[in-house]
Structure 1
Amino acid sequence: MILKGFKEKSNKKYIDKCAQSRVILPNADKLQRVGVLVNSHEFSDPEWIKSLTSLLKIKANDLKILALFNGKKHETSVYTDTFSEKELGWKGQFKSQTVKDFVANKFDLLINFYETDSLALQTISAATQAPLKVGLHNANPDINDLTLDITIKDKNIFKTELIKYLNILNKLSNE
């Protein structure tokens, strides 16, 4: 019990360190690679997420989805790349190669599409290198650059608002 508290505190320090050391440089680059973090128990529609590729004007293989899945052994997830909270180690380190590969990607946009206050999801979001991070209404403001005041059930409104703000920021290609 005590070790769990210390582990949690070390990960919160890691998140704060990542948020404070993050340098955001203005650029005119268009979106090419997008990462999406979801909690599979809150949102289980990977096809809706994949439909973002046409709206964001990116290739389907340039969209990476990583889902938090804390299911039982007999349960399966609708997402191909998953991890569990048990895989979170000390100081922001993960035991899963899937998470390490996701964090190693250089995304142009990271979408934090979850509402839960999950330390594992926040740690991955903080560790992922992306010049623009978008989250939902109760997301950690230190991690996200843009927070949309929308619940996860309003997925079509989220899509509309995301496209609107990306057009304002001139991040979508004209193709």
Structure 2
Amino acid sequence: MFYTILKRFFLKKRVAKKLQKQQPPLEQQKISTIGVLVDEAYFSQASTLVKEIMNHGFKEEQIQVLVFREKNKPKEIIKEPFLTPKNISITGEISKPQVIAFLDTPFDMLINYYDVSKFSLMILSIRSKADFKVGFDAIDKRVNHLIIKGEVEKYKEYIAELFKYLKILNKI
């Protein structure tokens, strides 16, 4: 318990420091690859979210998903790559190779599909090499470049709104 409190404290400091260095996107390029970061505690239908994105003209191989889980059930089989708080050290370093590969992939857009501020998720969003980041309005405004107001459960409305703004911004 003490370790968890201490870990949250240090992750919070790490996130605050990285957010101060955050730069706005410089290039106006079209979106061809999408990364999706999902908090399974509040939205467990990552595959339906991917299908909704595919309905807007993207192919499945253009979309990668990373799922954040609070706890891992040992016998449960998960299709998407995932991580738990145990995979993140007290200094914010990631120990899982799949997650490191996801964060190092230079996506054209990262969708941060979570609306509860968790420093573990925020550190992942900040460390991502994505050019353009999109998320909910309940998260720190410095994490995302485009903020859309909505509810996690209403994913169809959120994706429709996102693609409406991407057309306005000439990103698709």
Aligned to 1:154: 154
Structure 1 runs not aligned, ≥5 long: none
> RMSD between aligned alpha carbons?
2.0
Q: Which moved more, 1:117-126 or 1:75-84?
A: 75-84
Runs of 4 or more off by more than 4 Å in structure 1? Answer: none
Q: Would the aligned equivalents of 1:87 and 1:96 in 2 still touch at CA under 8 Å?
A: yes
Give the secondary-structure state (helix, strand or coil) at the position aligned to 1:12: helix
Q: CA deviation at 1:91?
A: 2.4
Cα distance in 1 between the residues matched to 2:46 and 2:81: 11
Aligned to 1:53: 54
1:86 maps to a residue whose letter is K
Alignment length (residue pairs): 171
Q: Which moved more, 1:46-55 or 1:59-68?
A: 46-55
Cα distance in 1 between the residues matched to 2:74 and 2:24: 43
Q: CA deviation at 1:13?
A: 2.3
TM-score (ref. length: structure 2): 0.88
Cα distance in 1 between the residues matched to 2:18 and 2:77: 30
Q: Which moved more, 1:1-10 or 1:105-114?
A: 1-10
Give the secondary-structure state (helix, strand or coil) at the position aligned to 2:99: helix
TM-score (ref. length: structure 1): 0.86
Amino-acid identity (%): 25
In structure 2, relative to structure 1, the CA distance for the partners of 1:71 and 1:12 (3 Å cut) is closer
Structure 2 runs not aligned, ≥5 long: none
Aligned to 2:140: 140
Cα distance in 1 between the residues matched to 2:74 and 2:86: 17
Q: Which moved more, 1:42-51 or 1:91-100?
A: 42-51
Aligned to 2:85: 85
In structure 2, relative to structure 1, the CA distance for the partners of 1:75 and 1:59 (3 Å cut) is same
Q: CA deviation at 1:166?
A: 0.4
**Does residue 124 of structure 1 match 2:96?**
no
Q: CA deviation at 1:3?
A: 4.2
In structure 2, relative to structure 1, the CA distance for the partners of 1:25 and 1:72 (3 Å cut) is closer
CA offsets, 1:98-155, max 9 Å, x none?
2111111111111111123222111101111222211123112121122211011111
Cα distance in 2 between the residues matched to 1:102 and 1:147: 22
Cα distance in 1 between the residues matched to 2:101 and 2:156: 29
